[in-house]
Amino acid sequence: MIEEIAHFMLILALYGSLAQGYFSLSGAHKDSASMMRAGRYASTTVFALTFFSFLILISAFVKSNFSLSLVSSHSHTLKPLLYKVSGVWANHEGSMLLWTLILTMYGALISPFGKNIPLVLKSRAIGIQGLLAVGFLAFILFTSNPFHRINPVPVEGSGLNPLLQDPGLAIHPPILYLGYVGFSVVFSFSVAALIEGKVDAMWAKLLRPWVLASWSFLTLGITLGSIWAYYELGWGGWWMWDPVENVSFMPWLAGTALLHSIMALGIRHKLADWTVLLGISTFSLCLIGTFVVRSGVLVSVHSFATDPTRGIFLLMLLIIISGSSLSLYAFRSKKIRKHLKFEPFSREGGLIINNLLLVISCITVFIGTFYPLFIDALSGDKISVGKPYFDLTFTPIMVLLILFMGAAPLLKWDKNSEGQIISLLKKLILPIAIITILTFLVGKSILGALGLALAAYLAVATLIAIKVKTKDFKSWKSLKPKTVGFAIAHLGVAVFAAGVVFMSVWSEDNIGRIKVGEKLKVANYSFKLSSINTGQRKNYEYLNATIDVTKKGSSIKTLSTEQRFYPARNIVTTEAGFNFTMGPTIFTAISEGNSQDGWVLRANYHPFVTWIWLGALFMSLAGFISLFDKSYYRS
């Protein structure tokens, strides 16, 4: 009975969202304080209804209530509590309810966290947030009911996909959604600004915390997903240009551009129409990502749904939300557009070029992801776009981006003289030249040397920029949180870039079929297959391999890797063995084989791969630190 109550709560939430949209938007139009207040109350009520409905679904999973189709298909009585709870969003219906819960939560938070925002603008944003909730609640109720009953009730459930039974996957989706859906607030305020026909520095300053929070959560969510894929999927890579990886990366690129453009708007009162367009586009890309994962348009390890009804509904929702907002932008952008004039050799010019490069990189990823779909739809030909395409198109853009990232903060907002630019170059050239020469002598790779020099250039330029602000670092404690955030974020990009260079240039791997007692060599390491054990645990059969790793005769680590077969779902998974360090990481994974022919073993040497995730975590941390800057919360 309680599950029916939860379902009824979602129905009430749908009507509440309609009321939220109506009272907030009508109240703002009529300047009626009572109607706008009713809209705020409605937003809180909608969140409360959705929250309690979600809690009841969690309770059903924890109690193994197999009368619900969702619980029966994605849970099991013997699952640990953590995976019973995470099983709630490890499926289509539950994950969409989580998405909607976070959407309504953000709608309810606009009022208490936006006390300095003008009442009419805030009310319009709350109203638009309510209309977004209407679309997603309708999607859940009409196509993706998480409280659907089945009869007869099975004695036992099918269990959760083994790939998703991991602590990383328990926290990765909620954090990712906090980023994805957080951009809905930016979208709502962008549309609200278009309706009012006013976008100024105050609007940018008040909106920047929402952009920072969303971007930081999205960065953290993508990073956690990359770490999970590295050790759980057994492919030994940190990024594979998987289509669903790409559709999470595109809003990150657009959101990064938005973060910088909103800074230019807040300081220099420029890029108003461009910032609004980025606010709309970033959330639209989040919706595209949702459509891709939930509709089954692209095949991926992440995909949940292949129901065409759901796909069509989401596509229509995407068209309505993005189409109407972009149409409004086309009609109203002239009212907020200002003449753009800037000096190319200035910090302002650097920010604008930064924005253009980020948008171009986003378009590049979009083409590489969706071009095969367009070709398939038009001609029926099956083509794939993979790593070679992205290496050829994406990498040069990132090189240019890092060059401007390092230079722009060292420039003045206004025009810089030739003498100032030459003086700046002199400070950077010597340390970069030394790093390039030393790296080439040690690593024997010109590409590696240039790549590390680029990362070092960004780090040195960032430190010089902080030195200028602190006068020889003596007053670093007085730095504002947003300045500290800038330094950590840019240093994080430098660490990330260095990790990518190490992995791209000096990583090595080898695959071979070996028997017990034989070795597989990678770089200076030997991977010896010491033993093979087979057996069965509660719900899977396993093949376990013990690998002794040595380097030049010295023992390094004993690794354990397994291949598991889950009969209930007919799924084979790989549990890799690895030794993470801040320097070289060694990685191994066992595959099929037998005692007569040997077993297929993959061994990888990954230098400084952990720097990739460390740099990304620095970026996320930088965003959260910047949120503590008091200047964002003063009107």
Same domain, residue pair 545 and 478: no
Residue 624's pLDDT is 96
> For residue 513, what are the β-bridge partners?
600
**Has residue 524 been placed in a domain?**
yes
**Has residue 620 been placed in a domain?**
no
Mean of the per-residue pLDDT values of the chain: 87
Q: Which residue has the higher pLDDT, 292 or 96?
A: 96
Q: At 379, list the tokens.
A: 């001609």
Same domain, residue pair 61 and 135: yes
Same domain, residue pair 9 and 157: yes
| Average pLDDT for 41-61 | 97
What is the tens place of the pLDDT at every residue in 166-193? 787 789 889 999 999 999 999 999 999 9
Rounded to 5°, angle at Cα 169 from 612 and 505: 20
Residue 425's pLDDT is 67
Same domain, residue pair 19 and 141: yes
Same domain, residue pair 93 and 68: yes
Same domain, residue pair 446 and 563: no
* Other C-beta atoms lying within 10 Å of the C-beta of residue 26: 16
Rounded to 5°, angle at Cα 471 from 465 and 477: 90
Which ranges of 471-548 does DSSP label H, i.e. alpha helix? 481-506
Q: Which of 113, 136, 165 is the last residue of a domain?
A: 165
Nearest-angstrom CA–CA distance, 435 and 537:
52
Q: At 338, list the tokens.
A: 């200002």
What is the tens place of the pLDDT at every residue in 215-234? 999 999 999 988 888 877 66
What is the tens place of the pLDDT at every residue in 97-127? 999 999 999 999 999 988 888 999 999 999 9
To which H or E segment does residue 552 belong?
none
Q: At 503, list the tokens.
A: 């992995």
**Has residue 22 been placed in a domain?**
yes
**Has residue 545 been placed in a domain?**
yes
Could you give the 3-state DSSP secondary structure of residue 303? coil
Q: DSSP letters along 193-234, please?
A: HHHHT---HHHHHHHHHHHHHHHHHHHHHHHHHHHHHHHHS-
| Average pLDDT for 406-434 | 71
Q: At 186, list the tokens.
A: 């930016």
Residue 200's pLDDT is 82
Our measurement of the distance from residue 526's CA atom to the centroid of its chain's CA atoms, rounded to an integer in Å, reads 36
Nearest-angstrom CA–CA distance, 175 and 220:
7
Same domain, residue pair 484 and 586: no
Q: Which of 506, 532, 566 is the last residue of a domain?
A: 506
121 lies in which domain range?
Answer: 1-165
Q: At 546, list the tokens.
A: 């013990």
What is the tens place of the pLDDT at every residue in 118-153? 999 999 999 999 999 999 999 999 998 999 998 888
To which H or E segment does residue 411 belong?
none
Residue 536 has pLDDT above 80, yes or no: yes
Which strands form 598-607's sheet, in the order they lie side by side?
508-514, 598-607, 584-594, 577-579
Helix axes 167-196, 92-109, angle to 10 degrees: 50
Same domain, residue pair 462 and 439: yes
What is the tens place of the pLDDT at every residue in 334-363? 777 765 666 666 777 778 889 999 999 999
Nearest-angstrom CA–CA distance, 496 and 219:
13
Residue 380's pLDDT is 67
Q: Which of 486, 506, 526 is the last residue of a domain?
A: 506
Residue 524 has pLDDT above 50, yes or no: yes
Same domain, residue pair 428 and 556: no
pLDDT-based confidence at residue 418 (cuts at 50, 70, 90): low
Same domain, residue pair 521 and 597: yes
Residue 280's pLDDT is 96
Among 132-136, 278-282, 385-389, which stretch is predicted with the lowest mean pLDDT?
385-389
Nearest-angstrom CA–CA distance, 179 and 540:
35
Same domain, residue pair 8 and 154: yes
Per-residue three-class SS string for 259-278: HHHHHHHHHHCCCHHHHHHH
Residue with tokens 């990739």: 612
What is the tens place of the pLDDT at every residue in 596-631? 889 999 999 999 999 999 999 999 999 999 999 887
Helix axes 446-470, 418-443, angle to 10 degrees: 140
| Average pLDDT for 367-382 | 77
**Has residue 250 been placed in a domain?**
no
Q: At 334, list the tokens.
A: 């002239």
**Has residue 31 been placed in a domain?**
yes
Residue 463 has pLDDT above 60, yes or no: yes
Nearest-angstrom CA–CA distance, 278 and 397:
19
pLDDT-based confidence at residue 472 (cuts at 50, 70, 90): low
**Has residue 231 been placed in a domain?**
no
**Has residue 494 been placed in a domain?**
yes
Range 245-249, long-range pairs (CB < 8 A, 24+ positions): 246/365, 246/368, 246/369, 247/285, 247/288, 247/289, 247/292, 247/293, 247/298, 247/369, 248/176, 248/180, 248/218, 248/221, 248/222, 248/289, 249/222, 249/365
Residue with tokens 């993706």: 144
Do you find a cis peptide bond into 584, omega within 30 degrees of 0? no
Residue 206 has pLDDT above 90, yes or no: no
Q: Which amino acid is at 421?
A: I
Residue 109's pLDDT is 95
Residue 340's pLDDT is 62
Residue 301 has pLDDT above 50, yes or no: no
Same domain, residue pair 13 and 152: yes
**How many independent structural domains does the chain possess?**
3
> For residue 143, what are the β-bridge partners?
none
